[in-house]
Amino acid sequence: MTLIVLLGAPGAGKGTQAAVLRDRLGIPHVATGDLFRAAIREGTPVGREAKAYMDAGQLVPDRVTIRMLEERLAAPDAADGAILDGFPRTAVQAAALDDFLGRRGSRVDAALLIDVPAEDLVDRLSGRWICQAAGHPYHATMNRPRASGVCDVDGSPLVQRADDRPETIRARLAGQLDDLNAVVEHYRSTGALRTVNGLRPIAEVSGGLLEALEAGTAGVA
């Protein structure tokens, strides 16, 4: 069983790389958000418990999330391992996950960090524009409209949501990066951390992650 924790800030390309790793390794991509939605939809006991917290506007406690994770990892498709995405999000959660896995005689085999400097993240995340008429998405560098400032589809003006402006993104990222760095330090101390430069093209980042994984688990498998 190979248990991977995929780490990266918003905008680092984690979702894209998780899909590549899933296909190449043949183990499921377990994103915490999906896990919550599935458990709630299926009405499992732990899903009902999570829903009660969410309905009350409270954070779902780590022990509940870990029980959800436990159920997910017990599913047949996760027999060879899983790629965790979105958990652990804090150093406290990372320690809780280690405790839980340790009790099962297991551990996080590799924590793969897709490393992208903060200002590059701001550039990636703040380039989003949408059209006023229908919300068609564009990006200042990655998906430009044919004519500057207007939608290719309906010709309506492109606008930027307050959430997508650089100053808003920079402020939001600061807190997220603090948490991420604490989790990164946790895995550095356990020896599971592998860092891959996330500024390269998507295929090269994928190659780097697979190489890092082989290097990290050689001698264990």
DSSP letters spanning 97-161: HHHHHHHTT----EEEEEE--HHHHHHHHHTEEEETTT--EEETTTB--SSTTB-TTT-PBEE--
Q: How far is the CB of 150 from Zn ion (least distance, A)?
A: 9
Nearest to 157 by CA among 127, 139, 130, 138: 130
Q: Are 173 and 116 in contact (CB under 8 A)?
A: no
159 contributes a contact to Zn ion by CB under 5 A: no
What is the contact mask toward Zn ion in residues 91 to 130, using x (rule: CB under 5 A)?
A: ----------------------------------------
Q: Is 51 a catalytic residue?
A: no
Catalytic site residue 161? yes
Please state the separation of Cα 109 from the chain's center in Å: 17
Question: Does 89 participate in catalysis according to the annotation?
Answer: yes
CB of 11 to Zn ion, least distance (A): 23
Catalytic pick among 22, 89, 107, 170? 89
- 144 counts as binding Zn ion under rule CB under 5 A: no
Per the annotation, the verdict on 124 as an active-site residue is: no
Write out the catalytic residue numbers. Answer: 14, 89, 128, 161, 172
Interaction site with Zn ion (CB under 5 A): 131, 134, 136, 151, 153-154
